[in-house]
């Protein structure tokens, strides 16, 4: 995704692939919805800006970030989009729950991508504070939902080379 030195939010849509006939799925965690729905809006708007038709974007929600694994896998299997984008936000608390959820979702997305033939994009914010999440969901560090959508476009194009 992005760093201070490379920001996918500044993607050149003119140089990108033709995505007008591609289909994308977005699965969003309802937990921390004030953040995750901003990520969803960023991803959706970026796909539209790239040329994806609204009718070729499927969006659905799951209760929490851990459930993104199942949601992404089921969307990939059932609607067969060119890529699935998983969006969630886990904010560190006072218990080890943060570590278990973040690790589980990371491993789950790695497994889906290893086993499957449809790219599933890991768009999970893992922050220490709500402010850090806000900064990455349309704040001073851009919108990581935008960047997840750009990654999905790039991976969909990559996958098309091998089909």
pLDDT at 114: 95
* Residue 9 belongs to some domain of the structure: no
Asked whether residue 122 is assigned to any structural domain, the reply reads yes
d(CA 54, CA 118): 20
pTM of the model: 0.92
Asked if the model's pLDDT at residue 160 lies above 90, the reply is no
Query: Does 50 fall in a domain?
Result: yes
Is residue 97 annotated as a catalytic residue, yes or no? Answer: yes
CATH of the domain at 99: 3.40.50.960
In a domain, 7, yes or no: no
Q: Is residue 15 part of a domain?
A: no
Number of folded domains in the chain? 1
Does 6 fall in a domain?
Answer: no
Rounded to 5°, angle at Cα 127 from 126 and 132: 135
Query: Among the options 97, 99, 111, 160, which is catalytic?
Result: 97
Alpha carbon of residue 114 to chain centroid: 17
- Provide the total of helices (H) and of strands (E) in the chain, helices listed first: 5, 6
Residues 6+ positions from 119 with CB-CB distance below 8 Å: 82, 83, 84, 113, 152, 155, 156, 158, 159
Any domain includes 11 = no
| The predicted structure's pLDDT at residue 1 | 47
pLDDT digits 0-9 by tens, 68-124: 999 999 999 999 999 999 999 999 988 888 889 999 999 999 999 999 999 999 999
Locus of tokens 């070729």: 56
Is residue 48 in a domain?
yes
* CB atoms near residue 154 (< 10 Å): 17
Split at pLDDT 50, 70, 90, the class of 3 is low
Instruction: At 91, list the tokens.
Output: 């904010």
| Residue pLDDT, tens place only, 116-145 | 999 999 999 999 999 999 999 999 999 999
Write out the residue range of the structural domain in which residue 156 sits: 20-160
């Amino acid at each position: 995704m992005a760093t201070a030195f490379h920001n996918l939010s500044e993607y050149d849509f003119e140089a990108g692939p033709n995505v007008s006939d591609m289909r994308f799925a977005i699965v969003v965690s309802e937990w921390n919805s004030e953040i995750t729905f901003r990520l969803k809006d960023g991803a959706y708007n970026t796909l539209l800006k790239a040329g994806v038709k609204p009718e070729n974007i499927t969006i659905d929600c799951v209760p929490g970030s851990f459930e993104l694994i199942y949601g992404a896998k089921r969307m990939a299997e059932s609607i067969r989009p060119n890529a699935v984008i998983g969006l969630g936000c886990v904010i560190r608390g006072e218990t080890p729950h943060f570590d278990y959820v973040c690790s589980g979702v990371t491993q789950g997305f790695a497994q889906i991508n290893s086993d499957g033939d449809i790219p599933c994009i890991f768009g999970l914010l893992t922050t220490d504070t709500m402010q850090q999440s806000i900064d990455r969901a349309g704040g001073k560090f851009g919108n990581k939902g935008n960047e997840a959508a750009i990654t999905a476009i790039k991976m969909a194009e990559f996958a098309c080379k091998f089909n």
